[in-house]
Amino acid sequence: MEIITTQEMAALDTNCEYHGLSRLQLMENAGSALARIIREKYPSKTPLTIFAGRGNNGGDAFVAARHLHDYNVSVFLLGRKKEIKTSEARANWEILQKMRIVTIEVTDSTQIPEPPKEGVVIDAIFGTGIRGRLRPLESKAIDTMNESCVDVISVDVPSGLDPDNGNFEKTVRADLTITFHKPKPALHNHSLKPHTGEVITAPIGIPGLFEHLTGPGDLSILATRRSESHKGDSGRILIIGGGPYTGAPALSALAALRSGVDIVHVAAPQPASKTIASFSPDLIVTELSEGHLCENDVPILKEMIPRFDVIALGMGLGKNPETETALREIIPICRRTVIDADGLYALNLHQENSPTILTPHTGEFEKITGKKVPKNLDERIKMLKDLTTTISATVLLKSQIDLIAKDGVVRVNTSGNSGMTVGGTGDVLAGITAALLTKNPPLLSACAAAFINGRAGNLCQERYGNGFTATDLLEQIPDAMKT
């Protein structure tokens, strides 16, 4: 059975909200599913004692309490109502206030009732939201539930149990755990059965497609810059590009800087190097030997490459046969690589590589794979799924709808607009991708980069209509990266 980690579930919730499925609706679905299962197992009028936290786990229980109004329900909120953390949980608490349901704010552990001797206890304190050590209030509530002689039902995950690794300081011993959407990893640990009891997975209305859509949830799980960071700690990128074209590597380099890396160094053939350096004083540029990348440049690049976290190559290099020969020597020694444009033609797709992201458009993809890209989206997804089970690279296939795939997992990016057919937007995407790859896994880096690039394009379209340029796109990257 598929599982989902806490981080993945939080990202999915955020993406659902972005794509129109609100957290309030998900809470309603979760609470009503909880109530339905309780109703199937216990007759009406059964006493229900609910211990609820101040987060969305408690909110799910508030919804269930409303649906189970014909039971003998008592809701103990562990804290004050003004401390309820989310607007969704707060809204459902306010609804309970208007109903003839007993609701009690518990602010001291002495106010926790005696262990119930009849009915059912509902544990809705933490769910997947456990953080740090238990406070006395929650600790006492867990003791009370464990000392009761009635059935205990945990909402999503037994409170106190780390849903990902199964660790706990103290945790509820549930007879039944009703988890939502997909089981959390700890619920598959058989040694924890005395704490989880029977596990039922309840769907909460998240469409299968939404699990594959990119969104701001992907941005929320990106690695963040540490406050104690020094220069270079947030990423060093070497861009190998330029020759016939000068704008492409410059756009990639500037995009990487706008995406938060510390150092971007461009290695470019002469005379392209001088033009690239003139784009911005923020760029460090090394001039290579001739008018195009060639084998004479390989020794200096082999010396430079180990000093960088990510190598991005291909942008503006051209298709000189000597360039392709040089790239075939360079690519295998790169530790983490983004390969774009002309660099794609030097790639051995089936060669074992370190983490590599390929960013082809449809025409480039067809040339390097020999496969025709279907027009039908489902067929394209299947094609990428099949391909990436046979190669180690992550593929970001650029189109009206971007597809990102690795190891048979395919994600879909719908951000962006028709104005992004202007030249240079793909170079910007390559720079963003390289920046994210310095600190994040390849699939996440490619997904987040595609979303950021498209979102920046949407911000440009709001301001300029379809008359924006790739340099306009650069300016919108910081806003597009906000969660």
Is residue 307 located within the same domain as residue 426? yes
Q: Residue 173 corresponds to which tokens in the numbers above?
A: 């011993």
Same domain assignment for residues 192 and 231: no
- Tell me the C-alpha distance between 323 and 79, whole Å: 66
Residue type, position 425, single letter: T
Query: Is residue 357 situated within a structural domain?
Result: yes
Residue 91's domain comprises: 6-211
How many domains does the structure of the chain reveal?
A: 2
1 falls within a domain: no
Q: What is the CATH number of the domain that holds 409?
A: 3.40.1190.20
Query: Is residue 235 domain-shared with residue 175, that is, in the same domain?
Result: no
Quick check: is 103 in a domain? yes
Q: Are 196 and 227 in contact (CB under 8 A)?
A: no
Regarding whether 357 and 333 lie in a shared domain, the answer is: yes
Domain shared by 169 and 290, yes or no: no
In this structure, are residues 294 and 322 in contact, taking their beta carbons and an 8 Å threshold?
A: yes
Residue 305 CA to residue 293 CA, distance in Å, equals 15
Q: Examine the domain organization and report whether 207 and 220 are in the same domain.
A: no
Is the Cα dihedral 231, 234, 240, 243 positive or negative? negative
Amino acid at 472: D
Per-residue pLDDT of the chain (483 residues; tens, 9 = 90+): 689 999 999 999 999 999 999 999 999 999 999 999 999 999 999 999 999 999 999 999 999 999 999 999 999 999 999 999 999 999 999 999 999 899 999 999 999 999 999 999 999 999 877 777 899 999 999 999 999 999 999 999 999 999 999 999 999 999 999 999 999 999 999 999 999 999 999 999 999 999 999 999 999 999 988 777 777 778 999 999 999 999 999 999 999 999 999 999 999 999 899 999 999 999 999 999 999 999 999 999 999 999 999 999 999 999 999 999 999 999 999 999 999 999 999 999 887 677 999 999 999 999 999 999 999 999 999 999 999 999 999 999 999 999 999 999 999 999 999 999 999 999 999 999 999 999 999 999 999 999 999 999 999 999 999 999 999 999 999 999 998
**Order of strands across the sheet with 72-78?**
102-106, 72-78, 47-52, 120-124, 151-155, 176-180, 198-202
Q: Are residues 235 and 179 in the same domain?
A: no
99 located within any domain: yes
Same domain, 223 and 207: no
Q: Residue 331 domain-assigned? A: yes
User: What CATH number should be reported for the domain holding residue 179?
Assistant: 3.40.50.10260
Q: What is the pLDDT of residues 414-430, one digit of tens each?
A: 999 999 999 999 999 99
Q: Same structural domain for residues 205 and 221?
A: no
**Of the residues 177, 211, 245, which one is the last residue of a structural domain?**
211
Instruction: Give CA–CA dist 163/333, Å, rounded.
Output: 39
Q: 117-150: per-residue pLDDT in tens?
A: 999 999 999 987 777 789 999 999 999 999 999 9
- Same domain assignment for residues 234 and 337: yes
Query: Which of 176, 191, 211 is at the close of a domain?
Result: 211
Whether 311 is covered by a domain: the verdict is yes
Domain boundary (188, 211, 234) is at: 211
| One domain for residues 317 and 434 | yes
Query: Is the domain of 58 the same as that of 97?
Result: yes
455, part of any domain: yes
Q: Is residue 127 part of a domain?
A: yes
